[in-house]
Structure 1
C-alpha cells in the first residue's frame, strides 16, 4: 500500500544518509591519520633540528677554543717567523762571503796552479828541444840537463844530534878495549837511531 511504499522510500533515503555519513567519517579518519603522520614527521624533524642545533653549538664552542689557542700561539708564531728571517739573512750573508772570498781565493789558487803547470810544460818542451850547449855532431842525439840553484830550505828537525861524551872518546883510566868497543857501539847505535828518526820526521812532513 501507500504507507508501506513511503516507509520503504524513507528507509532507503535514511540508508543513503548513513552511507554518506560513513563516507564522511572515513574521510575524517583518513585526515586524522594523515595529521598523525604529519605530527610524527614534525616531531622527527623537530628532533633533528634539536640535534643539529646541539652539533652547531659544539662546533661553535670548538671554534672559539681554536681561536683562543691561535691567539695564544700567534705571538710565538710571529717570533719564530722573525727568527727564521734572521737565520735566512745570516745564511745569505755567509753564502755571499763564501762566494766573494772563498771562491775568489779558490779561483786565484787554481789560476796560479794552471800558470805553474803551463810554465812546467813550456820548460819541458824547451828542454826536450834543447839537446846541446853547442852544436852536435851529425847523426848524434844529445841531451842537456839543467841544474837550478835555489836558497837552502832549512827545516829544524824535531830531535837533537847525539854527541859523544868525554867518556866515549877518552875512556877511563881503568877501561879496557872491550869497554871501549861497547861504548863505541852504543855511540854508533845512537847515531843510527838519530838518522832513522830524522828520516821518519822528514817523511812525516810530506805525508
Structure 2
C-alpha cells in the first residue's frame, strides 16, 4: 500500500511539473563550468508587452541565479521587440561571460496568469548555447506564499507588476533550477559576496 501511495504521489507531482525540457551541453564540465559564471540577464520580448513586467522577469531571474545557482549576475535588462542578434554580443561587456536570455509568453487568465518561457544561456565568447529550457503553466496571482515577495517587487517596480509576481516567480524558479552549477574560485566568491544578493 505504501508503494502505491508513493507511486501515486510521484505521478501527481510529475503532472504538476512546469519544465517541459532542459538541456546542458555535453562538454559543460570541461568547457563552461569554470568559464561562464558572470552573466547578464535579458528578457526579450517583453512579457504581456509591458516594460515593467519585463524588468520584473529579469530582476527575479538575476536574483534567483545569484542566490540559488552560483552564478554572478550583475546586470539585468528588458527589451521590447524580438532580438535582431540572438547572441546578444552587444550586452557582453564589463567582463560578462554569458547571457541568460528569457523569451517569455505571458497573459492574464481569470485571476492569474498563463505563462511560458524559452530560456537559454549563451556564451559571450562565441554565442554558443550552454543550456536551454522550456517551461509553462498557469498560476493564481494571489498566493499567500508569495505575499511578501509581491509587496517587495510592487514597491520596487510599481503596481502594474503586482498580478505578475507570483506566477513569474513560480515559472522562473522551476526553470532556473535546471541550470547547471558553475565552479567559483575564491575571487569569484568574494565578488559574489560583494553583490549582496
Q: TM-score range by the shorter chain?
A: under 0.3
Q: From the two aligned structures, give the one with the greater strand fraction.
A: 2
When Rg is computed on C-alpha atoms for both structures, the one with the higher figure is 1
With the length of structure 1 as denominator, give the TM-score of the two structures: 0.18
Report which structure shows greater RCO (CA 8 Å, sep ≥6).
2
With the length of structure 2 as denominator, give the TM-score of the two structures: 0.18
